[in-house]
Structure 1
Amino acid sequence: MTSTLPNRQLPSTDVDPFSPEVLEDPLPMQAALREAGPVVRLSRYGIYAMARYEQVHAALTDWQSFQSAAGVGLSNFRYEQPWRPPSLLLEADPPHHDAPRAVLSKILGPRALRTLRADWFADAEQLVDQVLAEHEFDAATQLAESFPLRVFPDAVGLPRQGRENLLPYGDFLFNAFGPANDLVERGRPHVAELSAWVDEQCRRANLEATGFGAAIWAAADRGDITHEQAPLVVRSLLSAGVDTTVHGLAAVLYAFATHPEQWQRLRREPGLARVAFDEAVRWQSPVQTFFRTATTDVDLAGTRIAEGEKVLMFLGAANRDPRAWHDPDVFDLSRDPSGHVGFGMGIHQCVGQHVARLEAEALLTALAHRVEHLELAQQPRRHHNNTLRAWHSLPLRVHRAP
């Protein structure tokens, strides 16, 4: 039995996880936090942090002690007004979270997605053939962004006009989970216009009759959720259903460009496409961090965290914790990555993860059939975001299969 550690003895650091230097390369800071202890005080923001897999997993699964309803960012909704109505999934806890989650889980489940599989595979083949007309291209924009923006809004039932608003809206959303730094201020002048466009797309009249959005409104008609909740559930799809998949796809393409032996293995065993995507999500962790708020005084790894305190969970650090993973810095298709926390864990685990896996499987399968070898054509450039690990550009050079 461990005794509670007096907070004056708790490891502390003034590192800024949201500084440009850390956002460019978070790995050294994450390693330092893991080695400092299971719980560390971030003095700059007056919050607790955890970077080891055991504690991150524990906090993610213990929604009773570490709530999401006070916000999954630095802002504390107990005292601060959120910039938009909170998400009914990401920023809610039972019982308010349960009905919207159940509705989306059914709509986005593996059984429902089978009807999209053939069309998405055909769309992936068409896009890949177009892109491979060039020997070199930017995989971040021409594949990782283009494919989700091509198939996912169609599945939701969005009109084609205005889809370019989804990425800047999501970029601001995930930046807003951090402090009000330059990244947030840069997006603030556009957020009202972007939010108005997104809210408009969530109205029943603007959604195709056969898409995910219409299915959400039908659930409201059945009484599974209220009609007031329906547009917010649709908004949850648009808020988190694009950016995370875009950056997950870029992560797996970067992984293969820098690990040619793993690409050859995928070409030999294309059934590993989904394993490859999950391993890339573990290895790169497109969603790097999320916050929780203590609902009561709670002991975690011998540290007393007081009720109302914010806790920052480093998902990316947990996914590279050598206490949980063998050779964690290696991208390896022989690994079982299924325990990673890149999609969260517990009742708030990403409800759209099956959608992301299907998109990745379609795109990687199309590429594996056509590309014998791929490599970086130039040095890729990061896109900084307070929550996401993303690429601004990912120039690839490909050699087509004979």
Structure 2
Amino acid sequence: MKIVEDHVAVAPPAGVPVWDIDPYEPAVLADPTAYYRELRDKGPFVYLSRYAALACGRYDVTKEVFGDWERFVSSRGVGLLDFKLKSPWRAPSRLLEVDPPYHTQTRKVMGRALSPKVVMGLKDRFRAVADKLVAELVTGDSFDAVPELAETFPTTVFPEAVGMRETDRDRLLDYGSMVFNGLGPDNSLRRRNSESAADTVAWISQRCQRDALTRDGVGALIYAAVDAGEATEEEANMLVRSFLSAGVDTTVSGIGGTLWCLAHHPEAFERLKADPRLVRVAFEEVLRYTSPVHTFCRTAAADTTVADVPIQADTKILCTLAAANLDPEKWTDAARFDVARKPVGHLAFGTGIHACVGQNLARAEVEAILLALIERVDRIELTGEACWRPNNSMRSLETLPIRLVAS
């Protein structure tokens, strides 16, 4: 058995195009539009010769592979590494990297901790922080919206919602970067944070312990499962950690992507100001259009077939969610940003049993920012060139120079 990037190297299935592209190349990650288009054009699957794995980017195929947990498992890792062959650098996520029956129990715990009532109880705090932050930035001066807004807001309200008594913005962001870059190959992006990984993981783990959390946060609700006999202390700690890594960076990306879309499409911001009821729909379109998580993997649990393509057991499959979300076969005028589109079925929050458990919390955060902007801002103006930050599985901005012009 041949191993490539810590997973089983399979041969290309008959009839599947062989492609010598590296989707984890920083240049491709920074500007992936052409890669997404060619990936879809080549067929339901391509064989990535560099990684001896399959990749898909058409909507129907990607949704089938990504959502069928019985044929394509998450428990062997949602990155290139196959947990059946090698243990990951950090304990597997109790949310993303487990399958039923274990997943059913953890999902129950998280569903209760993030119930609609809990999320509703956080909205006033989210709005207060958003109003204050936007008010401070509406000065007419240019600023970088990534560190000053997209990163500041989630790293302020999210740890507070979890109930962390002690937080550190840089460590939270570094941890998320490690987790999502860690899903790719052994490239410079994955190695960049490796020297500090052990220290950062230890720091995060300590801050997610029960005695380090307040009694009125989401973290305490997760630990209540220990008292109910539904989880061990270690499992609860891991759930809080998984929630942090999944919740901070994706929301940073979502807010950054929202500002990027509205700055490039001023007519869309005008439409939101005229009809604030479109705020929720607009964010769904931002998710479809920018896809905060561009790629997650699945592993074939047995020999199977998708779109008449035979897939061998143990095959790693790169599910390119961002390509699927831009598939013109699924979305009319897919390359156009439209705040009134109502893109039901986009894959930015996943699908099936692995759909993002914290998606309503993310929606509440971005909604707070959008409502604050609509109320206080007349125009969002670009003052320089935006730059995207290469990451092996996240699509986030590095810089976004803008000016908020007061109403």
The reply to whether TM is greater than 0.5 is: yes
Of 244, 250, 263, 2:250 maps to: 244
**Residue 362 (1) aligns with residue 368 (2):** yes
In the alignment, which residue of structure 1 is the partner of 2:24?
18
Find the residue that maps to 1:64 and give its secondary structure: coil
Find the residue that maps to 1:241 and give its secondary structure: helix
**Residue 286 (1) aligns with residue 292 (2):** yes
Deviations 1:64-100 (A, max 9, x none): 0000000000001110111111111100000011111
CA contact (8 A) 1:125 1:366 kept: yes
> Take 1:291 and 1:338, find their aligned partners in 2: how far apart are those partners?
23
Deviation of the 1:27 alpha carbon? 0.8
**Residue 59 (1) aligns with residue 34 (2):** no
Deviation of the 1:365 alpha carbon? 0.3
Deviation of the 1:131 alpha carbon? 1.6
Deviation of the 1:142 alpha carbon? 1.1
- Counterpart mapping for 1:309-320 below 5 A: 309-320=315-326
Deviations 1:185-217 (A, max 9, x none): 111011111101111011111001111111111
- Counterpart mapping for 1:356-395 below 5 A: 356-395=362-401
Deviation of the 1:139 alpha carbon? 1.1
**Residue 323 (1) aligns with residue 336 (2):** no
Of 158, 173, 176, 1:170 maps to: 176
> Take 1:87 and 1:301, find their aligned partners in 2: how far apart are those partners?
30
Normalised by the length of structure 1, the TM-score is 0.97
Output the amino acid matched with 1:274: R
> Take 2:35 and 2:139, find their aligned partners in 1: how far apart are those partners?
41
Find the residue that maps to 1:69 and give its secondary structure: coil
Of 144, 159, 184, 2:165 maps to: 159
Of 258, 262, 265, 1:256 maps to: 262
Output the amino acid matched with 2:259: L
Deviations 1:208-262 (A, max 9, x none): 1111111111121012223231111111111111000100110011000000110
**Residue 352 (1) aligns with residue 365 (2):** no
Output the amino acid matched with 2:47: R
CA contact (8 A) 2:276 2:371 kept: yes
Output the amino acid matched with 2:64: A
**Residue 397 (1) aligns with residue 397 (2):** no
Output the amino acid matched with 1:54: D
CA contact (8 A) 1:273 1:360 kept: no
Deviation of the 1:123 alpha carbon? 1.2
- Counterpart mapping for 1:190-269 below 5 A: 190-269=196-275
Deviation of the 1:103 alpha carbon? 1.0
Structure 1: stretches of 5+ with no match in the other structure: 1-5
Deviation of the 1:143 alpha carbon? 1.0
**Residue 302 (1) aligns with residue 300 (2):** no
Deviation of the 1:7 alpha carbon? 2.0
In the alignment, which residue of structure 2 is the partner of 1:77?
83
CA contact (8 A) 1:260 1:373 kept: yes
Output the amino acid matched with 1:231: N
Which deviates further from its counterpart, 27-36 or 265-274?
A: 265-274
CA contact (8 A) 1:67 1:93 kept: yes
Deviation of the 1:134 alpha carbon? 4.6
Deviation of the 1:44 alpha carbon? 0.8
Instruction: Work out the percentage of aligned pairs sharing the same amino acid.
Output: 45
Deviation of the 1:120 alpha carbon? 1.2
Find the residue that maps to 2:151 and give its secondary structure: helix
Deviations 1:304-344 (A, max 9, x none): 11111101100000000001001111110120112100111
In the alignment, which residue of structure 2 is the partner of 1:103?
109
Deviation of the 1:163 alpha carbon? 3.5
Runs of 4+ in 1 over 6 A off after TM superposition: none
**Residue 42 (1) aligns with residue 48 (2):** yes
Output the amino acid matched with 2:62: V
